[in-house]
């Protein structure tokens, strides 16, 4: 007589095989391989014949069966409905395992009984779990009414929990990957705004990037013209939709513009302003956001999806709203650029080609600087107000976003100031005064020492006892020192030192700012004073965030003062910037000494 044993009875004999299956659950790289490993392990350990996995999306409430082993289509549908019924009974979705050891004991009025008997299922167990965005259920079915003892239930739960841990890890990796993609898309928008100057190209690119950013089927960007007509820039829109300009008040896009509020729809056709041609093309999920520029609604970005199961989320809406704000800036900048070009063309008739180019450039820089200062100040003020919490407590994600905005505004403000100074240096529009160089340096050293202490750096000053006068613009010379010290502080690690030296060589005043920082590779040194040039690492990424204008500004200010600037650097040792400026005799005195400053 052959002894028939239950799989749990010879668990020790199968421990090696079990360990391998459990390892396969932990090592699964995809959800398909994970569910397969889970199914095989449960069947081997618990002796069940059939398994299935169900997921209910917590946002859309849709139930799917991503994996089933041995179940007919009808059986899969029956357990999907069972899952829905459990969710309806307990909205909190907190359940202990459900065990039915003998399906014949199920009341006759429950439809599941007949299906189970027809498919020769004697017992089943349901194990529930939750992930970041779903509620799940694992169904285990067997043809043995003695299955699923309390120990087996606990074992089944432990195995499912192991699989869920892997699933959550995969979901987290997917979220991180999606976040990286979103960041790349945002960067692509920024690059598009920086590189494309004609408005249609900019708007078509923004529509495409916004659509791809949240994986929508397609979208349109509507731009208001003359406050009465909206023209559209589509991406991946069916040709038979035949988009035409829309008069004011017609369609969801105009509602978004007039209300300056986003619209999020699960079924586009239910909206009172839904367009028939959109409905006929099976548009289901719909997301529309306003395009805001200078507190004016300039248009709308409308994205859609044709899948009944696809629903846009609030997170995606917030993301596209940020794209809408970027689009608003692009439109305003494009229009401002067009105005500048129109004004410049009026001057071109009376200027030579070189004068024309110079004035166009200077006019552009001046216009941009002037037009950006006020809105940047307003944006900065409101961002600081948000950060302070006076308008309401922010979540951690919101705080991070506000801090990013503040950093970007500071960068833009610095860039505007640098551009203005560059223009002044190039045209030599400086004040020319006699400047006491020692007094200039001493007036700044206290501030630099505070910065150095905050960064755990040592600041040393080696100044000659006597120096001739400088002749130039005090404000711009201070900027030279500020930029050089800013660079030194930025690239010198804690514990390092920065040294300022001032002495005389012949008729020149020599200024050196030396640090013990990272150093600069020789290949970068010939271009380090070029506008917008930034030193990159092996992956061609900027080593530090900046505008790329600081050293260019140093060079142009120094040269505008009839001086020269040089750089020496060694990787891992440090960098020294050397400035040579002509010394002058003040009509009121021969020179300056340290004693005169006491």
* Strand 497-505 versus strand 458-463 pairing type: parallel
Q: How confident is the model at residue 96 (pLDDT cuts 50, 70, 90)?
A: confident
Find, among 386, 415, 380, the residue nearest to 400 by Cα.
386
Q: What are phi and psi of 411, to 5 degrees?
A: -65, -45
Q: At what angle do helices 73-89 and 111-118 cross, to 10 degrees?
A: 150
Could you read off the pLDDT of 378-407 as tens digits, one per residue? Answer: 777 777 878 877 777 888 888 888 888 877
Domain 433-597 part of CATH 3.30.70.990: no
Q: Do domains 196-334 and 433-597 have the same CATH topology?
A: no
Find the helix or strand (DSSP H, E) in which 83 lies: helix 73-89
Q: What is the pLDDT of residue 313?
A: 87
pLDDT tens track for 302-334 = 999 998 878 888 888 988 998 888 888 888 877
Residues 455 and 139: their CA atoms lie apart, in Å, by 59
Q: What stretches of 497-591 show up as alpha helix (H) in DSSP?
A: 550-560
Angle at Cα 93 formed by Cα 91 and Cα 95, nearest 5°? 125
Task: Kindly give the residue spans of alpha helices, DSSP state H, lying in 111-221.
Answer: 111-118, 150-195, 199-213
- Taking the domains of the chain in order of start, what are their residue ranges? 15-174, 196-334, 351-426, 433-597
User: 179, 147, 134: which is closest to 51 by C-alpha?
Assistant: 147
H helices present in 308-434, as ranges: 314-348, 353-388, 396-427
The Cβ of residue 453 has, within 10 Å, a number of other Cβ atoms equal to 11
CA-closest candidate to residue 299, choices 342, 344, 329: 329
Give the CB-side neighbour count of residue 433, counting CA atoms within 13 A. 10
Q: 135-144 burial, b for 16+ CB within 10 Å, e for fewer?
A: bbbbbbbbee
Q: What single-letter DSSP state applies at residue 542?
A: B
Can you tell me the distance from the alpha carbon of 224 to that of 413, in angstroms, rounded to the nearest whole number? 30
Angular region, 215: left φ>0, alpha ψ -120 to 50, beta rest: left
DSSP code of 109? T
pLDDT per position as a tens digit, 12-33: 555 667 677 788 888 888 888 8
pLDDT digits (tens, 9 = 90+) for 328-360: 888 887 777 777 777 767 656 555 566 656 666
Q: Give 15-174's CATH code, choosing from 3.40.630.10, 3.40.50.720, 3.30.450.40, 3.50.50.60.
A: 3.30.450.40
Phi and psi of 487, rounded to 5°? Answer: -65, -45
Residue 242 has pLDDT above 70, yes or no: yes
Tokens of 531: 């506008």
**pLDDT above 80 for 474:** yes
pLDDT at 4: 44
Range 196-334 classified under CATH 3.30.450.40: yes
């Amino acid at each position: 007589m052959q002894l028939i044993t239950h799989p749990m009875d010879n668990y020790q004999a199968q421990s090696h095989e079990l360990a391998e299956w459990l390892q396969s659950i932990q090592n699964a790289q995809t959800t398909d391989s994970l569910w397969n490993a889970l199914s095989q392990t449960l069947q081997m350990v618990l002796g069940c014949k059939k398994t299935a996995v169900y997921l209910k999306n917590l946002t859309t409430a849709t139930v799917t069966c991503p994996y089933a082993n041995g179940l007919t289509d009808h059986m899969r549908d029956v357990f999907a409905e069972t899952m829905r019924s459990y969710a309806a009974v307990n909205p909190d979705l907190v359940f202990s395992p459900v065990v039915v050891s003998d399906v014949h004991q199920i009341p006759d009025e429950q439809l599941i009984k007949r299906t189970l008997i027809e498919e020769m299922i004697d017992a089943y167990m349901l194990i529930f779990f939750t992930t970041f965005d779903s509620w799940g259920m694992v169904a285990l079915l067997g043809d043995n009414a003695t299955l699923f003892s309390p120990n087996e239930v606990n074992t089944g739960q432990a195995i499912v929990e192991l699989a869920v841990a892997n699933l959550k890890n995969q979901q987290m990796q997917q979220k991180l990957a999606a976040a990286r993609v979103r960041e790349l898309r945002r960067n692509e928008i920024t690059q598009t705004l920086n590189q494309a100057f004609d408005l249609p190209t900019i708007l078509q690119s923004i529509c495409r990037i916004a659509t791809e950013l949240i994986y929508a089927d397609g979208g349109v960007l509507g731009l208001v013209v003359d406050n009465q007509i909206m023209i559209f820039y589509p991406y991946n829109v069916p040709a038979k939709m035949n988009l035409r300009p829309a008069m004011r008040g017609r369609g969801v896009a105009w509602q978004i513009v007039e209300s300056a509020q986003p619209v999020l729809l699960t079924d586009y056709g239910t909206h009172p302003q839904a367009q028939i041609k959109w409905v006929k093309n099976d548009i289901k999920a719909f997301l529309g956001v306003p395009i805001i520029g200078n507190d004016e609604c300039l248009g709308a970005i409308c994205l859609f999806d044709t899948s009944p199961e696809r629903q846009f989320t609030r997170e995606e809406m917030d993301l596209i709203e940020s794209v809408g704000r970027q689009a608003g800036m692009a439109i305003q900048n494009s229009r401002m650029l067009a105005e500048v070009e129109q004004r410049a063309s009026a001057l071109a008739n009376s200027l030579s080609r070189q004068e024309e180019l110079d004035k166009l450039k200077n006019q552009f820089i001046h216009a941009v600087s002037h037009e950006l200062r006020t809105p940047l100040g307003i944006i900065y003020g409101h961002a600081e107000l948000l950060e302070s919490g006076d308008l309401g407590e922010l979540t951690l994600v919101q705080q991070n976003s506000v801090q990013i905005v503040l950093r970007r505004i500071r960068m833009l403000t610095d860039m505007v100031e640098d551009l203005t100074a560059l223009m002044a240096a190039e045209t030599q529009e400086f004040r020319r005064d006699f400047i006491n160089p020692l007094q200039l340096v001493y007036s700044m050293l206290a501030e630099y020492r505070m910065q150095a202490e905050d960064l755990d750096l040592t600041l040393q000053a080696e100044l000659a006892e006597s120096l001739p006068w400088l002749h130039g613009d005090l404000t711009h010379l201070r900027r030279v020192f500020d930029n050089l010290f800013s660079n030194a502080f930025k690239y010198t690690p804690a514990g390092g030192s920065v040294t300022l030296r001032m002495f005389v060589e012949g008729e020149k005043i020599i200024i050196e700012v030396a640090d013990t920082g990272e150093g600069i590779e020789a290949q970068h040194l010939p271009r380090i004073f070029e506008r917008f040039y930034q030193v990159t690492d092996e992956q061609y990424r900027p080593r530090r965030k900046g505008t790329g204008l600081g050293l260019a500004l140093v060079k142009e200010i120094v040269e505008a003062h009839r001086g020269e600037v040089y750089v020496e650097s060694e990787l891992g040792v440090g960098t020294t910037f050397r400035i040579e400026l002509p010394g002058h005799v003040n009509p009121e005195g021969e020179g300056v000494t340290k004693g005169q400053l006491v």
